[in-house]
Amino acid sequence: MYEIIEKKQLSDAIVMMEVKAERVAKTCLPGQFVIVKIDERGERIPLTICDYSREKGTVTIVFQTVGASTLRMASLEKGDFFRDFVGPLGKYCEWIDEPLEELKGKKVLFVAGGVGTAPVYPQVKWLREKGIEADCIIGARNKSLVILEEEMSRVAGNLYVTTDDGSYGMKGNVNDCIKKLVSEEGKSYDMVVAIGPLIMMKFVSLLTKELHIPTIVSLNPIMVDGTGMCGACRVSVGGEVKFACVDGPEFDGHLVDFDQAMKRQQMYKTEEGRTYLKEQEGATHHGGCGHCN
């Protein structure tokens, strides 16, 4: 059993929880995720790690209430327990293995969309702890959906906030901000890391390809099972079949077929769609989630 140590409501539909999970906290790194279950009958929910404390033995998760399972999760309070809290899963950020002196010479821009701010935070924090200041853009539809701004401001070199409706920060989307930084302010970046909705990551990648900036995206939004069994997170990267939960979740944004990923994600939600995908994808479909058998 894994106790909820702290709970914080970040917005009407977004919740942050700090959970006692000593073994996960001991080994996890930025970019990885966990799978949580409320009880024996509960749905297995993959969630990217937002923060962790090796000293306290805790892991912080952030989730948005979008269905019955996440609504149940949101009803839990401090002192309640998760039955399962499995991790760390997935591959950690590839640049963690780079020589520190080489990494210090790079200018990095993080682009966070909505709840994607949660997995961006530990990456920016890790770099700050190594003496590297990265710039960060947080994008949201409106002010009420901007999360972790205070926490991010403490670890980012420069923090920029954009809202689609102009209710807070710069009016526009994250791409508008990237164009302003590069074209108007003359900033240059060696790498962009974009995490958020698939549609956001797609258009960030299209822009950074034009700007010739290498870009990493995290495909955690398309996970279902989280262990490589169900095949829901199947994606084409550079023409090769990959599974986000075991081969990623991070990939070269300029090689990801976002259109295929978005279409497949919608089809996977229906029985008819899953049957079609099973027939089309054959042995590489997996199907271990139980929906197709």
Tell me what pLDDT residue 291 has.
41
Q: Answer yes or no: is pLDDT of 275 > 70.
A: no
| 141 against 224, higher pLDDT | 141
Tell me what pLDDT residue 289 has.
44
Tell me what pLDDT residue 272 has.
46
- When pLDDT is cut at 50, 70 and 90, the band that residue 261 belongs to is confident
| Topology alike, domains 2-89 and 94-218 | no
The CATH number given to 94-218 is 3.40.50.80
In CATH, what class is 2-89? mainly beta
How would you label 46-59 residue by residue, b for 16+ Cβ within 10 Å and e otherwise?
Answer: bbbbbbbeeeebbb
Tell me what pLDDT residue 51 has.
93
Q: Answer yes or no: is pLDDT of 7 > 80.
A: yes
**Is 9 exposed, middle or buried, given 0-12, 13-18 or 19+ CB atoms closer than 10 A?**
exposed
| 52 against 285, higher pLDDT | 52
Distances, alpha carbon 42 to alpha carbons 25, 39, 79, 293, in Å: 23, 5, 19, 20
Q: Answer yes or no: is pLDDT of 271 > 70.
A: no
CB-based contacts of 282, cutoff 8 Å, min separation 6:
none
Strands 58-64 and 45-53: antiparallel
According to DSSP, residue 223 is labeled: -
Q: Average pLDDT, stretch 71-98?
A: 91
Determine the angle formed by the axes of helices 271-281 and 258-267, rounding to 10 degrees: 130
Q: Answer yes or no: is pLDDT of 39 > 70.
A: yes
- Cα separation, 175 vs 186, in Å, equals 15
| 187 against 43, higher pLDDT | 187
Phi, psi at residue 238, to the nearest 5°? 60, 30
Lowest pLDDT segment from 9-13, 52-56, 242-246: 242-246
Beta strands in the chain (DSSP E): 2-9, 14-20, 33-37, 45-53, 58-64, 81-82, 84-89, 108-113, 135-140, 159-163, 170-171, 191-195, 215-218, 234-237, 240-243, 250-252
Q: Average pLDDT, stretch 34-44?
A: 86
Using one digit for the tens of pLDDT, what is the confidence trace for 107-133?
999 999 988 999 999 999 999 999 999
Using one digit for the tens of pLDDT, what is the confidence trace for 46-76?
888 999 999 999 999 999 888 788 888 999 9
Helices (H), 130-186: 149-155, 174-179
- Cα separation, 113 vs 145, in Å, equals 10
- Cα separation, 165 vs 140, in Å, equals 9
Q: Average pLDDT, stretch 182-191?
A: 93
- When pLDDT is cut at 50, 70 and 90, the band that residue 277 belongs to is very low
Tell me what pLDDT residue 157 has.
92
Average pLDDT value for the chain = 86
Tell me what pLDDT residue 13 has.
87
Kindly state the greatest CA–CA separation across the chain: 55
Tell me what pLDDT residue 282 has.
53
- What does the domain layout of the chain look like in residue ranges? 2-89, 94-218, 222-293
Using one digit for the tens of pLDDT, what is the confidence trace for 134-166?
999 999 999 989 999 999 999 999 999 999 999
Tell me what pLDDT residue 270 has.
45
Question: Model's pTM, two decimal places?
Answer: 0.84
